[in-house]
Structure 1
Amino acid sequence: MLKRTRQFAEGTSAAIFALLFLVFVIQVTMRFVFNKPLAWSDELIVVLYILMVFWSAATLLKEKEHVMLDLVYEALPPGGRRVFGLIGAALTAGLMLVLLPQAFDYVKFMHREKTPVLDIPFSYVFAPFIIFVTIVAVQYLVKFCRLLGRNWRQYI
């Protein structure tokens, strides 16, 4: 099931990027070949970029691929790494869960504003942030539970 979920996440990211690239190529072609720039293309590229960044960061990046300062963590014995991992997972999940209602309120508030050209409600533009916060919170809750389990050494 995890393999299928990962394949779905990769496929979704690839589809978003392909659409972004297609719009970009259309924009460049229209502007430089036909001298007829498209007003909507820049806006759509930004919206797709935001979606791609939040979706991919939440679903595809592994924790080890994120930038982090782990000099102290790497110097600790396995038990110390477990404690740091538990604290870090609890703090990250907790902060994301505290952030979630405020993020939802902000996105809901932004529904009244729309993008200038495509007339897309900004709530749709910022909705990927809610997906990002939710997925990251769940990932760190899972990590916390795994670090409490019997096989915790494989998750440090």
Structure 2
Amino acid sequence: MLERSRRIAEGVAAAVFALLFGVFVVQVGMRFLFNRPLAWSDELIVVLYILMVFWSAATLLKEKEHVMLDLVYAALPPGGQRIFGLLGAALTAGLLLWMLPEAFDYVRFMHREKTPVLDIPFSYVFAPFILFVAVIGIQYVVKFVRLLGHNWREQL
């Protein structure tokens, strides 16, 4: 089931990227071939880019694929890495889940504002951020629990 969910997430990300790229190609063609720039294309590209970044970061990237500075962490013995992992997971999960209601409130507040050309409510534009905060927060809760378990070395 996890593999199927991952394939669906990859499909959504690929579809959003393909749409973004298609709009970009149409925009370039209209601007440089026909000298008729499209007002809506820039805005749609930004909206699709925001969706693609937050969707992909929440559903596809693994923690080890994120850029991080781990010089001190890598130099520690496994027990020290476990402690750092527990602290990092607790802080990350705690902060993200603590801010989730505020992020939701902000996105709900932004419903009153709309994009200038396409008239899309900004709540729709920034809704993927809520997904990102919730999913990453939950992933770090799971990591914290796994680091407390017997097979904690697998989480390092």
Q: Which band: TM-score by shorter chain? A: over 0.9
User: Is 1:149 equivalent to 2:146 in the alignment?
Assistant: no
Return 71-80 or 42-51, whichever deviates more. 71-80
Partner of 1:112: 112
Runs of 5+ consecutive residues of structure 1 not aligned to the other structure: none
- Distance apart, 1:147 and its partner CA: 0.8
User: Is 1:69 equivalent to 2:106 in the alignment?
Assistant: no
Runs of 5+ consecutive residues of structure 2 not aligned to the other structure: none
Partner of 1:140: 140
Which AA in structure 2 matches 1:17? F
Q: Provide the rounded CA distance (Å) in 2 between the counterparts of 1:97 and 1:122.
A: 22
Map 1:1-156 to 2 at 5 A: 1-156=1-156
Give the TM-score taking structure 1 as reference length: 0.96
Which AA in structure 2 matches 1:91? L
Deviation >4 Å, runs of 4+: none
Which AA in structure 2 matches 1:105? D
Which AA in structure 2 matches 1:135? V
Question: What RMSD, in angstroms, separates the aligned Cα atoms of the two structures?
Answer: 0.9
Q: Identity, % of aligned pairs?
A: 79
Q: Provide the rounded CA distance (Å) in 1 between the counterparts of 2:22 and 2:69.
A: 37
Q: Give the 3-state SS of the residue equivalent to 2:48 in structure 1.
A: helix
- Distance apart, 1:79 and its partner CA: 1.2
- Distance apart, 1:14 and its partner CA: 0.6
Q: Provide the rounded CA distance (Å) in 1 between the counterparts of 2:89 and 2:2.
A: 21
TM-superposition CA deviations, 1:54-109 (whole Å, max 9, x none): 11111212111212111111111111111111111010000001110110111011
Return 111-120 or 30-39, whichever deviates more. 30-39
Q: Provide the rounded CA distance (Å) in 1 between the counterparts of 2:19 and 2:67.
A: 28
Return 46-55 or 56-65, whichever deviates more. 56-65
